[in-house]
């Protein structure tokens, strides 16, 4: 797997272009978050953060009891802690972690870091969820199945029934991790099913819809007994005091998120319309980005748009994504700017 495809001419780290390559909220966060951060008092910074109020607010947000949630330093830490706690080597050899492809790269790489063997299941045509292939990949050594719903980089959702089937089939002691980083956009979540599936963990983030990527805050949800060993792998104070007040403020401003969701829908329609006009293949997305098969050399296309200040993500080397770029479809004005440049680059290339 490759985690080093950031070699654009101008590194995005310079923050000098329009970042449509990481699915962030490119407008920012709720003004209430900025107010809450500005109101931080010295003792809030000097003392270790208290968590009860924010965990309660988060639990209310997801309609679960507070014992079924663990806050994490971004969803990334939730994935990492789950990998470390659940994928330890077995007496018989390494644990196996099944990751249907294409997938968020961190899933397989964290499994490897934890000493497990990533088992990558190749995609079906058009990314229809490969349920039978995932079931066939389950062995007595399976300790984790890592799903992303809706998926990244495709934006495609899997049937909730498929998650249930997998959860019923994995061996005792294995977990099914459902990465719901983009569930706010899809409007569907496995969370209400969790009481019936104690071996399933749902991961959420406030980085995408809530615009808190820079503060690093996410959550994992599941049965208290399933979360217990994973909590041990999360730093005691891994969510910092600024993220705590920011998250409480963000959760209190539902209108901000609803406006972003509306813009995402409009932005996706703009991407689809451009693709239809140019006869370019794309996949309808349940997330805040669209996978587009530009054809040709997607890396060259991403480099050409980056030179003009628009960062897109080359996904051409991911399984099933040959010739594809991924574009964030968030703030409408930003989508228009990004598409104007992409269209010119595509027309020049053909």
Ligand X SMILES: *Cc1c(COP(=O)(O)O)cnc(C)c1O
Positions that interact with ligand X (CB under 6 A):
23, 74-76, 104, 148, 152, 179, 181, 205, 207, 213, 218
Nearest-approach distance from CB 294 to ligand X, in angstroms: 21
Angle subtended at Cα 82 by Cα 173 and Cα 325, rounded to the nearest 5 degrees = 120
Closest CA to 150 of 329, 278, 5: 329
**Nearest residue (CB) to ligand X, 160 versus 213:** 213
CB of 278 to ligand X, least distance (A): 26
Q: Which is nearer to ligand X, 280 or 318 (CB)?
A: 318
**Nearest approach, Cβ of residue 125 and ligand X (Å):** 22
Contact 16, 309 (CB under 8 A): yes
Phi, psi dihedrals of residue 291, rounded to the nearest 5°: -90, 125
Question: Which residue, 207 or 245, is less far from ligand X as judged by CB?
Answer: 207
**Residue entry with tokens 């480099």:** 303
Closer CB to ligand X, 23 or 30, in the complex: 23
Nearer to ligand X, 227 or 239 (CB): 239
Q: Whole-number minimum distance, CB 213 to ligand X, in Å?
A: 5
User: Minimum distance from CB of 30 to ligand X (Å)?
Assistant: 17
Euclidean distance between the first and final Cα of the chain, in Å? 30
Between residues 71 and 342, which has the closer beta carbon with respect to ligand X?
71
Q: Identify which of residues 151 and 294 has a Cβ nearer to ligand X in the complex.
A: 151
Please state the closest distance from residue 211 (CB atom) to ligand X, in A.
11
Provide the H-helix boundaries in the chain.
31-38, 42-46, 52-62, 74-86, 105-113, 131-137, 160-169, 183-186, 224-231, 241-251, 254-278, 298-307, 332-349
Residue 45 near residue 241 (C-beta atoms within 8 A): yes
Dihedrals phi, psi of 65, to nearest 5 degrees: -85, 155
Residue 14's φ and ψ, nearest 5 degrees, are: -70, -15
Which residue is closest to ligand X by CB? 74
State the minimum distance, in angstroms, from the CB of residue 216 to ligand X: 7
- What the block records as the tokens of 313 is 């993500």
> In this complex, which beta carbon is closest to ligand X, that of residue 141 or of residue 288?
288
Crossing angle between the packed helical segments 254-278 and 332-349, to the nearest 10 degrees: 20
302-307 own/partner pairs: CB under 8 Å, 24+ apart: 302/8, 302/21, 303/8, 303/9, 304/345, 304/348, 304/349, 305/338, 305/341, 305/342, 305/345, 306/8, 306/9, 306/10, 306/12, 306/17, 307/9, 307/10
Provide the minimum distance between the beta carbon of 79 and ligand X in the complex, in angstroms, as a whole number. Answer: 7
């Amino acid at each position: 797997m490759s985690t080093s495809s950031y070699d654009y001419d101008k590194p995005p780290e310079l923050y000098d272009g329009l970042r449509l390559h990481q699915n962030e909220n490119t407008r920012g966060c709720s003004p209430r978050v900025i107010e809450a951060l500005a109101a931080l008092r010295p003792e809030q910074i000097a003392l270790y953060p208290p968590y009860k109020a924010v965990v309660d607010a988060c639990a209310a947000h997801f309609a679960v009891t507070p014992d079924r949630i663990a806050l994490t330093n971004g969803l990334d830490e939730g994935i990492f802690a789950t990998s470390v706690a659940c994928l330890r080597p077995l007496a018989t050899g390494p644990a196996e972690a099944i990751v249907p492809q294409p997938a968020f790269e961190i899933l397989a790489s964290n499994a490897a870091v934890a000493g497990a063997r990533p088992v990558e299941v190749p995609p079906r045509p058009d990314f229809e969820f490969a349920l039978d292939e995932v079931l066939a990949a389950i062995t007595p050594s399976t300790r984790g199945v890592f799903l992303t719903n809706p998926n990244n980089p495709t934006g495609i959702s899997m049937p909730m029934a498929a998650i249930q089937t997998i959860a019923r089939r994995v061996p005792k002691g294995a977990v099914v991790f459902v990465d719901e980083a983009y569930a706010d956009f899809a409007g569907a979540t496995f969370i209400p099913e969790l009481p019936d599936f104690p071996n399933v963990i749902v991961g959420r983030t406030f980085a995408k819809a809530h615009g808190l990527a820079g503060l690093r805050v996410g959550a994992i949800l599941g049965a208290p007994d399933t979360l217990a060993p994973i909590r041990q792998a999360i730093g005691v104070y891994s969510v910092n005091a600024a993220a705590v007040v920011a998250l409480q403020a963000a959760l209190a401003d539902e209108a901000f998120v609803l406006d972003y969701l509306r813009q995402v829908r409009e932005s996706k329609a703009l991407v689809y319309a451009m693709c239809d006009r140019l006869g370019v293949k794309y996949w309808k997305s349940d997330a805040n980005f669209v996978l587009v098969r530009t054809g040709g050399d997607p890396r060259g296309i991403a480099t050409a748009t980056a030179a003009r200040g628009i960062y897109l993500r080359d996904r051409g080397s991911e399984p099933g994504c040959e010739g594809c770029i991924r574009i964030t479809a968030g703030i409408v004005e930003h989508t228009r700017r990004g598409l104007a440049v992409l269209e010119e680059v595509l027309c020049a290339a053909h």
